[in-house]
Structure 1
């Protein structure tokens, strides 16, 4: 990859003066799906939040280029407008703003153009159908009273409507039952059909990966990338766990 969409070099990140990520390198090309796996506490979510610009995560070293621009020079909202998307482990409830209005405003901010309401609603209904989601949810306040599965579906709905250049999915399958995982996976598959979109799926549970095409797998332990491979690495970790990678990180 001479010009990857995302180019991370020697990224070091602190949280409250504690170093969580240690000189992480990562390249993601347009159209690719990457998986970042590791045990709990490895620093996987830290990478997602640091890339998105959460102020709690202090980048103390390294560089990040996104679509040729210095990502670390951009604010969180500028990163979103440039085509970076992050789904959260625990999406927040936002009373007073409907899911539909939230998405419509986000699309307008992302594209810099006004969205025609009729066209927007038709597209929203189409994506809701893919997610087996009752269209009435778009008229409810964002995540208020939603179950865990409904919150995750609402995030994938945002993903399908926003069409980002790179989507970072942080434990999207966490806490979901089998049927909900299948539905969320279906939405992610739909996003994968966009040839100009890329995915970084952060997980320690591989349920969401069973039906997805995975190009590259990375193993993060104690804040370090200590292994990598293709989709077969997911099966290896399911079978053998992280023991050999934890030994690498300890050296």
Structure 2
């Protein structure tokens, strides 16, 4: 059984005012097939956690550990982490002019597996996933995220998730900017990935609405770079009703 274990993770960034510590000792353990939701106010460090796990160079890890199946990830490059089984769905997916969706996805799959997927089975899998995500097949030949709406970008992130088949996915506000129909479609894609591969999910969100479709096993309240409280799905409902004020009182929020 695969496990992603985060222990005492501490992360800083460089600002105009100097070095600023964002994460102040984060502990999380995510098992295969589990969904963990991270909720918290703006500026609490949720996206910093996502990018630190993925290996973004802007975020300097000053302490702690991120292990996948007992193997340390923090000393690995971004592509090595991806090959080990980590995946990040970005809050703001970037455009890649001149690179088609089809070429991007097949190149990524080849890099992860060490060999190119058979063309016939690959096209079948690609078309099947695009159909399930309500993506027109013309998207295959469009440049990655270029001219995509917000919802189309998020569907493309989940298309990658379904085809690349990681062990653990960090979904950074995948629900932001989605209408109700798109939210359901994206959530169905996440659930399919969980059912077919045993995917473990770390889902970062402000709202309970996506958690109605992607059911969390655990909910963690993130405040001032730490986990302030954790519980089950009922905690997300409570946060939606009450907000974060009770956690912010006395918290070290800069």
Moved more, 41-50 or 106-115: 106-115
SS in structure 1 at match of 2:178: coil
**Residues 77-99 of structure 1 deviation map (CA, whole Å, 9 limit, x = unaligned):** 10011110001111111011111
Shift of 1:194: 2.8
Aligned-CA RMSD value? 1.4
Q: Is the 8 A contact 1:30 1:195 kept in 2?
A: no
**Is 2:11 aligned against 1:13?**
yes
* Residues in 2 aligned to 1:4 and 1:238: alpha-carbon distance in whole angstroms: 31
Report runs of 4+ in structure 1 exceeding 2 Å deviation.
247-251
Q: Choose the corresponding residue for 2:65, options 51, 63, 66.
A: 63
State TM-score, norm by structure 2.
0.94
Shift of 1:201: 0.3
**Residues 106-129 of structure 1 deviation map (CA, whole Å, 9 limit, x = unaligned):** 111111122111111110110011
Match of residue 190 from structure 1: 192
**Is 2:233 aligned against 1:231?**
yes
**Residues 176-208 of structure 1 deviation map (CA, whole Å, 9 limit, x = unaligned):** 112211111111111121353100001112222
Segments of 5+ residues of structure 2 without an aligned counterpart are none
Match of residue 154 from structure 1: 156
Match of residue 94 from structure 2: 92
Q: Is the 8 A contact 1:174 1:205 kept in 2?
A: no
Aligned length, in residue pairs:
249
Flag the 1:42–1:196 CA change in 2: closer, same or farther, 3 A.
same
Flag the 1:4–1:12 CA change in 2: closer, same or farther, 3 A.
farther
* Residues in 1 aligned to 2:228 and 2:2: alpha-carbon distance in whole angstroms: 21
* Residues in 1 aligned to 2:23 and 2:38: alpha-carbon distance in whole angstroms: 13
